[in-house]
Amino acid sequence: MAVKFSTKLFIIFTLAFCAAVAVSTALSLRAVRRSFAQLESERIAAAVALTSHEVDRLGQDIDHRLGAVAESEATTRMAMDINSPKPDLSLYSSDARGAANQQLLEIFEFVTDDGTVISSFHFPDRIGQKDDWVISAAAQHPQGAFLARVDTTQGPVIAQLAVRAVRVGEKKMYLAGGRRLDQRLLESLVLPAGVRALLYLNLDGKGSPQSLLDARGEQTSAGVVAPLVASAMQQPGNPTREPFPSASASETFYAMPLVAPDNSVPAMVIFAHTAIERLAMEKILFEQALLGIVLGIAIGWLVSLWGAARISRPLAKLASSATAMAAGSSRAPATESGSREIVTMARALNETMEKLLAERARLTQAERVAAWREMARRAAHDFDVALMRLEAATVLSETLGSTGGHGEGARGEGARGEGTMLRESLESMRGVESRLREFGDLLVLPMQTVRLNEIVRTVVRDFEPLFSSPLTEVTRPPIHPEVALAEDLPDIHGDPTLLTRAVDLLLLFAVNSMPAGGAFTLRTFATAALVHLDISWLGSAPAPEESDRAFTPGGLDRRYSTGLELATVQAIISDHGGSLAVVSSDGYNHLRVQFPAVAASAESAQSSPESQGRNAVEI
């Protein structure tokens, strides 16, 4: 089943509009996501930098406080006592508490150079026991803080520690102190908008997160963050990890491992960036896309109605006119209505039809001229044969009359008179035969470039005596020309002599068609590839049948005419590739002549095989 054009237009427009909306939405969505991803990346980078700075600041503070304890007089006196032969370490079992309270430290202990705990604030039960990690930590980190898992009376904690060695004499004494790592770190962070922080503490040393701490110290389930923590534990070298889970979630998570000296991960800061703003913007984009699709369907329906009125129906009429023109009908012009393009197509179709009709008329005219000439040649030949016989008969009659009529008197005189009249008639008929032969044997000389304006000026100049003769003013009302010749008129190809003769005969026809006198107009102009000559005068319009046979031999009854003037003009113009017509409009009669311009006639000459290699053409 054939689909109507309006339906096709609706489907195509709707699909195109929806595709455009989809592409626009996709590009906008991509731009929004890219913009928010850039913003998110900047915020997370700022949060990471802020956290690193805060951890370093806290470590420097701990190292500074531990240094103050190491340089105090009490610590120096303790180190000197330890270097005595038999030191009593129990005297200093409570000194760690006083130093910790003084420096606001939560982890603190004094350790001898063999790793024995002298005094411990966070784990008093370990006094007298070995604590080898302090000595190794002092060797690795003589200055600065580090993270480590520390056992306390309340259980294992993750602490930020510093270790100092105090040498007095031959033995060293070590000071280890620091603070627990907990929600206070998160409270001290001033994070960018849309970012919150969670803290993971690897208390069991296995890296299996069960819960996280928020800034208020409350436990929260690890949930979807657990895989991210596990991945960061395996690759602690990167300060942050890729967002987890996917970017379509309401929050994206980033992991910042806090690495210990042994490359383990005792703690980790998890940054959660909210995607509420992005999701809200995406929702708006999707709603606008949906609204755009609905609007596109409505507009597509309206466009289909408009297309039916402005395109499909005018196109149907145009197709009908084209079909009629293809069938040869010249009375079915295309209707110039609809859109600008359809009007242009209809106008072009009508112009093409007019050109085809004009070309058909020109070809018909050329064929008619050829037929007239052939008829004229045959008629001239038949006239010649008949006149030769009549002349012979006339001579014989005159001879018989002169030899046999000497005694008859008046009767012989009458016969001679009849012979004289017959010879005069024969001479007149011989003139007609000569004109017929001239019409039939007219030659077109080799073509050359001709200026039509010059020919018109020459003919008008030759007619000047007719316009200004006193005898003419007495015998008939005066006639005067009005000449309007276009400037820069293109040249034409032709024989100047024959063209001058044609214009002369046309002007003579116009002058003799004005018995009441008056003015007549000669005008030249150019259109496209044609050069036009228009001769117009005021007068009664000829009957249609008279216009149709105006150019046939003997077609008009003129006292001055031999009946071949306009036929000769049409033959000359036809030989030059032009056309001639008699038109009446608004009370004026027009003789309209058109010739192809130089470029157009040159192309016609090149495309015509009969015109190549020919210097003279007999018409």
Measured CA to CA, the distance from residue 567 to residue 550 in angstroms comes to 8
Chain segment 188-226, per-residue pLDDT in tens: 999 999 899 999 998 887 766 777 888 888 888 777 788
Residues 6+ away with beta carbon under 8 Å from 127? 93, 117, 118, 119, 120
pLDDT at residue 415 above 90? Answer: no
- Report the C-alpha gap between 339 and 316 in whole angstroms: 13
Q: Is the pLDDT of residue 606 over 70?
A: no
Q: Is 297 exposed, middle or buried (0-12, 13-18, 19+ CB in 10 A)?
A: middle
Q: Which residues, other chains included, contact 215 with Cβ-Cβ below 8 Å and sequence gap of 6+?
A: 183, 186, 187, 189, 196, 197
| Region class of 226: left (phi > 0), else alpha (psi between -120 and 50), else beta | alpha
The predicted-structure confidence for 270-286, as pLDDT tens digits, reads as follows 999 888 888 888 889 89
What's the mean pLDDT in 5-26?
83
Q: Rounded mean pLDDT of 379-400?
A: 73
How far apart CA 593 and CA 579 sit, in angstroms, is 6
Average pLDDT in the 160-180 region?
87
Region 53-74: mean pLDDT is 91
All residues at 6 or more sequence positions from 173 whose CB lies less than 8 Å from its CB, including other chains? 75, 78, 79, 82, 110, 111, 112, 113, 118, 165, 166, 167
What is the overall mean pLDDT for the chain?
A: 79
Does residue 562 register a pLDDT over 60? no
Bridge partners of 583, per DSSP, are 590
- Which neighbouring-strand residues pair with 520? 481, 537
- DSSP E strand boundaries for 380-454: 443-444, 448-450
CA-CA distance, 20 to 567, in Å (whole number)? 68
Percentage of the chain beyond pLDDT 90 is 19
By CB atoms closer than 10 A (0-12, 13-18, 19+), residue 146 is buried
Scanning the structure block, which residue is given the tokens 């003015």?
A: 519
Confidence category of residue 619, pLDDT binned at 50, 70, 90? very low
Give ∠ CA 588-593-598 in degrees, rounded to 5.
Answer: 150
Strand partners, 152: 155
Cα–Cα distance between 52 and 49 in angstroms, integer? 5
* Closest CA relative to residue 271, chosen from 159, 192, 188: 192
From the CB of residue 555, how many other CB atoms can be counted at a distance below 10 Å? 19
pLDDT at residue 470, as a whole number: 60
Q: What is the mean pLDDT of residues 18-41?
A: 89
The stretch 346-368 carries a mean pLDDT of 76
Mean pLDDT across 462-467: 82
Q: Are 411 and 405 in contact (CB under 8 A)?
A: yes
Q: What is the mean pLDDT of residues 539-561?
A: 49
Q: How confident is the model at residue 558 (pLDDT cuts 50, 70, 90)?
A: very low
In the predicted model, what is the mean pLDDT of residues 98-127?
A: 90
Of the two residues 554 and 8, the one the predictor is more confident about is 8
> What's the pLDDT score for residue 47?
93
* Contacts (Cβ under 8 Å, ≥6 apart) of 147: 158, 159, 160, 161, 181, 258, 259, 260, 266, 267
Instruction: Quickly count: other Cβ atoms within 10 Å of residue 91's Cβ.
Output: 12
Q: Which residues pair with 522 in a beta bridge?
A: 483, 535
Q: How far is residue 159's CA from residue 179's CA, in Å, rounded to a whole number? A: 5
482-534 per-position pLDDT tens digit: 999 998 899 998 888 889 988 998 888 888 888 788 888 999 999 878 899 99
Tell me what pLDDT residue 108 has: 93
* Spacing of C-alpha 81 from chain mean position: 94
- What pairs with residue 171 in β-bridges? 168
Quote the pLDDT of residue 92. 85
491: left (phi over 0), alpha (psi -120 to 50) or beta: beta
- With cut-offs at 50, 70 and 90, classify the pLDDT of residue 333: confident
pLDDT digits (tens, 9 = 90+) for 71-97: 888 888 888 888 787 778 888 888 889
Query: Which of 372 and 469 is assigned the larger pLDDT?
Result: 372
pLDDT at 235: 77
- Band of the pLDDT at 443, cuts 50, 70, 90? low
pLDDT of residue 416: 62
User: What's the pLDDT at 48?
Assistant: 92
Question: Does the pLDDT value for residue 328 go beyond 70?
Answer: no
pLDDT single digits (tens) 172-197: 889 999 999 999 999 999 999 989 99
Query: How much is the average pLDDT of 296-302?
Result: 84
- Beta-carbon-side half-sphere exposure of residue 199 (alpha carbons within 13 Å): 24
Q: What's the rounded Cα separation, in Å, for the pair 112 and 82?
A: 8
Q: Is 171 left (phi over 0), alpha (psi -120 to 50) or beta?
A: beta
- Residue 614: pLDDT over 50: no
Residue 167 vs residue 4, higher pLDDT = 167
The reported pTM is 0.51
